[in-house]
Amino acid sequence: MANSDDSHRIQPPHIALLPCAGMGHLIPFLRLTALLASRGGCTVTLVTPNPTVSAAESTHFSTFFSTHPHINRLQFQIPTNSLTEPINKTDPFFIRWSQISQSIHLLSPLLSSLSPPLSAIFSDFTASMSLSQVADRLSVPYYVVFTSSARFLSLAATLPSLDLGGTNDYVEIPDLPPLAKSSLPPPFFDPNHFFTSFLLSNIQSFSRAKGMFLNTFEKFESETITALNNGRVLSLKLPPVIPVGPLEPFNVENGEKSETGSDYVLWLDGQSDGSVVYVSFGSRTAMSKEQIREIGDGLERSGCAFFWVLKGSKVDKEDTVGIEELLGEGFIERTKNRGVAVKGWVEQEEILSHPAIGGFVSHCGWNSVMETARHGVPVLAWPLHGDQKVNAEVVVTAGLGMWVREWGWGGERLVRGEEIGEKIREMMSDEKLRRRGKEIGDEARKAWEGSGCSQKALTEVIDALKRTN
Ligand code: UDP
Ligand code: UDP
Ligand code: UDP
């Protein structure tokens, strides 16, 4: 006989997540998805916009679903041949953001027919405006996933009322330290720039969300998180900020190591602890050949062992230039006993977690910042685009790194090998940074241990969604 209590049993919530284009967006989504299913016990549907821009995105989707068979995949075909509003922009990732937003009405019937019915929708912030309307119509609670720092969110939330004219070198963000104007993404000074208008339209919809997930943790950005949650960063009424970082790699629980990683991990195994500088500018930032050569020169001059990941173009599928051509004749031969330079995808977390790594020359994409914080690796910040200078400010304020502001935005000036080599040496021998790095690594791990703040924050959301089931 059926137990009469069955009908009242609390069911796990069913959550659908929509990531947008770019690895910097996809990686935190995959990690959050895996976490909701594993630690959270949720039923999870991951929406996969198709086609993807980069090969890395499609490879990651395939690996993810083959290693997580219990997670449902909802294919979302994006019509890519027409834009209802053409955009004056060539960045393929930005174009795809637009296409995804403009196609959300096609997702609505797919979401409403899911079984069991949805308890919540988690959306990339770049699709917030359109997806929040769908969530309203379906009467499903809606959350935003903001893939940058809390500090960048505080700036974005103030953007609608910021006065960027005038001679003041700083912008005021209520109850937070002023931010150097030179750290603002250059497109912010042009309200008609695609990125600025797109972001502005999406942030207007943040107030409709029940909460905003950020890949950060209390100890790392405490002042900003507190200010945001006290509603002091006004201009927009933001929902609660839910820090759930640092998000851990999704294959960690399986104890998997990447196959492609084995060669370079073997090389790292042969290096002494803390001796290797890791150099990478993320998944989509290609530098000029001249700048690449100067970095090579800098690495040679630094005298340090190095692990350098290069990109020849913004989209990996178009990256056809050979590594020798990028690096110049003789570099690989000259440095073969001291360093490794690779082109293509590497498992960055695996590298950062290796004891041989003693420092990271990073563009400060926010995922990279969280990963280096998690492993306590000091940073030489070299922000190049978008939110990266604001993120570099956070790194320096936390005591995890140094930043040569004069190096400017990407392509603004050619930074010479001499300066690069000198700064790398300085970072690699800075004991204070190393000590602080260790502390930050401990704090980051605690955020996910026992009743750590990130663990607690996620559990609270899941429990609330269970009750409404
Ligand atoms: N990443 C990686 N291998 C690579 C390049 C990037 O694992 O060869 C990962 C990196 O660890 C991070 C993400 O891709 O998780 C890049 O995001 P981030 O925000 O750091 O920078 P973006 O690529 O968006 O500029
Ligand atoms: N860009 C990038 N990584 C980022 C942000 C921007 O590679 O995280 C690229 C962007 O796609 C563009 C260039 O940097 O090709 C300058 O971008 P932005 O939109 O900031 O300025 P604009 O293209 O208007 O000069
Ligand atoms: N961003 C920006 N202006 C730009 C490009 C990017 O402010 O021209 C910000 C944006 O808010 C985002 C961050 O930089 O949070 C990362 O940029 P994007 O998402 O384009 O790069 P990805 O993370 O895909 O590398």
pLDDT tens digit sequence for 85-112: 555 567 888 889 999 999 999 999 999 9
* CA-CA-CA-CA dihedral for 422, 427, 429, 435, to nearest 10: 170
Q: Which two tokens stand for residue 291?
A: 């700048």
Q: Which residue has the tokens 């996620």?
A: 458
Hey, which residues does 16 pair with through a beta bridge? 45, 121
Q: Which two tokens stand for residue 105?
A: 């009405």
CA distance 449 to 446: 5
CB 152 within 8 A of CB 387: yes
Q: What is the pLDDT of residue 2?
A: 43
Atom of ligand 2 nearest to the CA of 24: 8
Close Cβ partners of 240 (under 8 Å, ≥ 6 residues apart): 210, 211, 212, 229
Q: Is the CB of 348 under 6 A from ligand 1?
A: yes
CA distance 26 to 63: 13
User: Which residues are tagged catalytic?
Assistant: 25, 124
Q: Is the CB of 314 under 6 A from ligand 2?
A: yes
CA of 283 to the centre of ligand 1 (A): 5
Q: Is the CB of 195 under 6 A from ligand 3?
A: yes
CB 12 within 8 A of CB 48: no
∠ Cα 209 210 213 (to 5°): 85
CA distance 168 to 21: 35
Backbone angles phi, psi at 279, to 5 degrees: -125, 120
Hey, which residues does 74 pair with through a beta bridge? 47
CA distance 127 to 302: 43
**How many C-beta neighbours within 10 Å does residue 338 have?**
15
What residues of the chain score a pLDDT lower than 70?
1-8, 82-89, 232-236, 251-262, 467-469
CA of 383 to the centre of ligand 2 (A): 12
CA 40 to chain centre: 22
CA of 180 to the centre of ligand 2 (A): 20
CA of 305 to the centre of ligand 2 (A): 31
Tell whether the torsion through CA atoms of 423, 424, 426 and 427 is positive or negative: positive
- Closest by CA to 249, choosing from 262, 240, 258, is 258
Locate the DSSP E strands across 169-261. 170-173, 176-180, 211-214, 241-243
Hey, which residues does 343 pair with through a beta bridge? 310
Q: Is the CB of 386 under 6 A from ligand 3?
A: yes
Tell me which H or E stretch contains 305: strand 305-310
Q: Which two tokens stand for residue 53?
A: 């821009």
Q: Which residue's alpha carbon is nearest to atom 17 within ligand 2?
A: 385
Q: What is the pLDDT of residue 319?
A: 84
pLDDT tens digit sequence for 185-228: 999 999 888 889 999 999 999 999 999 999 999 999 999 999 99
Q: Which two tokens stand for residue 340?
A: 């490794």
Q: What is the pLDDT of residue 167?
A: 87
CA distance 280 to 258: 18
CA 450 to chain centre: 25
